[in-house]
Structure 1
């Protein structure tokens, strides 16, 4: 028998073993028993089994006294189990079915949280990656969903946290546009780079990306030989951000994105996931926007009441190198 066939046989045997070990929930379990068992799993952070029991409770007792609470806790369990799409879908369903529920604000909040972490895959969760360089689709969705929460429930206990996350997300989106502008510069698309810088300045006022957007405009207009526009942008930059890295004694330097380098085979193989592990640290090796964004976010986190901090976020902080390397498998 060839090695290929042996591997197939082994795979089927493993699948059969896994399926044989799968326990089905007793059909005779009452609503209270199912809910109690789900609570025990949630308390023990066994989110997979908790999801199974909560789904069983909802399907067997759709009009029971624990049904609505089980739907809310199912959102939480999916989120904690790193299934953001399922959490978002469950939150949408709860909002649609119970728009007047006293805790519907929690569903709005968790829907925003699910989008907040949607772009953070396995590498982003365990490695210190720069999210301003990733696809901002989840960030945009999360911002809009938190905005709905704040608009509909301004006095919700989750509104303060949502507002702080909106500040962070707006800064992140602005920094992402700055990165896009630098990409256009590198590709020689100077008109597109200038337009992107102007977009940041016009649409993301009071974010730390504004001076980077102005510097982008100056650089792009200089490359296009549009001296008047370049000088106007430079005048604004000098007057408002004299300490910007692109200025030296008031003179504009040739401005390129910090930490710019050619992508090698490692980056192309990992989609940049190992950037910060393989690259020696640099003093101030990030844009002004990124440094200020991180500072604002950390200040905002410190101001959030401890009883509504998101457990998953808190767990990611302070991980040891062994925990990151093994993805927490040996905790």
Structure 2
């Protein structure tokens, strides 16, 4: 899944933000963008390039920031964007500079800085035309794409592993698709939501299995039940039901065991778990 970088505001979209994939992008030059904003958005002394420091009018500053970013000089670009935010305060250009700065921090693996910028952006500009992108980038930062979200799980005490980042990513993507269902980022956000739900359910089952293997059958049954209740219809629910039945079997709780087994039979009649004897080594 590609991660989009911000592109300049385009006059043809009513001065709306247009964040798109960087490949093959055709946009107005930075000078043209700023000329439009200076003509229609900036007020007071900031609208007069002569009032700004020498050689640092808004257009030149924005162009320089983007050039530095494109050249890989992220630290330099970030400083220029920060200055631009102050000079163009109260404009869409300042908002765009803020999000481009957040994206650069994200690229530099500076998660905390990027999230702080986005949180402030959404607080100050909740109705910004770029709010959908802000939610999307916020979700991406918490979505550990390289590790497949839970690909780094190792044999440690999984019961205490923090899944907050994945839940935060879910909330960001959910806000995006709920508030901006027609956003260009909504389709990808929906895919990531589904992935997160499946991964969270798989994690709950992984933890339940971990407890079962160590004889903590009450904890195993509870975590498996949580997976079934919170993530209905996901693939991991199949094993979760078997874990519930197996845990209740070990605890001598026949009615609960039979209920879980019945649900497994009804919902997954071809499940491989139905051929496993309760209390067998299948989960060990």
1:129 CA displacement = 2.9
Q: 2:46 corresponds to which residue?
A: none
Of 215, 232, 235, the residue aligned with 1:205 is 232
1:58 CA displacement = 1.9
For residues 99-140 of structure 1, give each alpha carbon's deviation from its aligned partner in whole angstroms, at most 9, with x where no partner exists. Answer: 2222221112111222223x97xxx49x96349x65311011
Alignment of 1:1-331 (within 5 A): 29-63=56-90, 66-117=93-144, 124=147, 129-130=152-153, 135-248=162-275, 251-252=277-278, 254=280, 256-257=282-283
Higher mean displacement: 229-238 or 89-98:
229-238
> Aligned residue pairs: how many?
227
TM-score of the superposed pair, with normalisation by structure 1 = 0.61
The 1:86/1:192 distance shift into structure 2, 3 A limit, reads same
1:55 CA displacement = 1.7
8 Å contact from structure 1 (residues 214, 237) kept in 2: yes
1:61 CA displacement = 4.2
- If asked which structure has higher relative contact order (CA below 8 Å, sep 6+), I would say 1
8 Å contact from structure 1 (residues 218, 234) kept in 2: yes
The 1:163/1:174 distance shift into structure 2, 3 A limit, reads same
Q: 1:3 corresponds to which residue?
A: none
- Unpaired runs of 5+ residues, structure 2, are 1-52
CA distance in 1, matches of 2:168, 2:54: 40
TM-score of the superposed pair, with normalisation by structure 2 = 0.70
8 Å contact from structure 1 (residues 191, 220) kept in 2: yes
8 Å contact from structure 1 (residues 174, 204) kept in 2: yes
CA distance in 1, matches of 2:186, 2:133: 10
8 Å contact from structure 2 (residues 249, 279) kept in 1: no
1:176 CA displacement = 1.1
The 1:101/1:212 distance shift into structure 2, 3 A limit, reads same
8 Å contact from structure 2 (residues 250, 279) kept in 1: no
- Unpaired runs of 5+ residues, structure 1, are 1-25, 261-331
Equivalent position SS for 1:207: coil
Higher mean displacement: 164-173 or 152-161:
152-161
Runs of 4 or more, structure 1, over 6 Å off, are none
8 Å contact from structure 1 (residues 246, 255) kept in 2: no
For residues 197-230 of structure 1, give each alpha carbon's deviation from its aligned partner in whole angstroms, at most 9, with x where no partner exists. Answer: 1111122111111001101101101110112221
